[in-house]
Amino acid sequence: MNFNELKEFLEEKTNKYNQPFFIETDPIQVPKKFSEKKDIEIAGFLTATIAWGSRTTIIKNAEKLMSLLEFQPHEFIINASAAEYKNLEKFVHRTFNGTDCIYFIQSLLNIYKNHNGLQSVFEEGYRKGKTVKSALEYFYSIFFELQGERTRKHVSNVAAGASGKRLNMYLRWMVRNDNRGVDFGIWDKIPMSELMLPLDIHTGTVARKLGLLLRKSNDWKAVEEVTQSLRSYDLADPIKYDFALFGLGAFEKF
């Protein structure tokens, strides 16, 4: 396909999958259960954190985690008792266990008490370097102020070359605002134009088949390469094509 043909193809597939029905099989359905902004962003962050493996299992376990948080994530984080913390020990999603879960809640408490919440941390990181990479690096430093060494493997360190797939997906959820009913678009200090592709096996494979990505590893350099390719098709909102690439890979086995 030439440039215009590929752009038309990407637009067609984006329009196909960037629709409310997408929510029915996607982990974004879990934060969609909430209406308060802080609950949405906390539920979204925790759901994105465990978004690897079977999507059905991800959704089931994210809902289980919301149940442990009594379906009031922000209220739980601010006021949880020792007994309620103890109850979190039973949570498991693959290698993410109760110890990790408790660290996440304690770190989120630190973020909401001392750093004005998740939105402020990500947006302050973006302000410092004017890139999503600087936002993710700053978030990583704040999130591990409490020194949860075991849990570091569950938050991508893009400074060390990680692709940051789940964090980039989370930012897509929070930042993109296109009135299509899927992404929330409730954060406004990070431009949609600066978002980076959530690179996973589906988006990476499809991007390589379409010639949008040459690098073989799914690392941060690949994220930069493929996102730059997508910006040539839509400079203002390149990550809308995540719907096309993911849909082609996950649903059409492209």
Give per-10-residue mean pLDDT for the chain (254 aa): 96 98 97 98 98 95 97 97 92 95 96 98 98 98 91 95 97 97 97 97 96 97 98 98 97 91
Give this prediction's pTM: 0.96
Residue 218 has what pLDDT?
96
- Sketch the domain layout of the chain as residue ranges: 3-250
Cα 197 to Cα 75, 167, 221, 234, distances in angstroms: 32, 10, 11, 13
Q: What is the pLDDT of residue 144?
A: 96
The residue among 196, 53, 42 whose CA lies nearest residue 107 is: 42
How many helices (DSSP H) and strands (DSSP E) are in the chain?
12, 0
Q: Residue 148's pLDDT is what?
A: 75
Measuring CA to CA, which residue among 221, 45, 232 is closest to residue 133? 221
- pLDDT of the residue at 54: 92
Provide the pLDDT for residue 141.
97
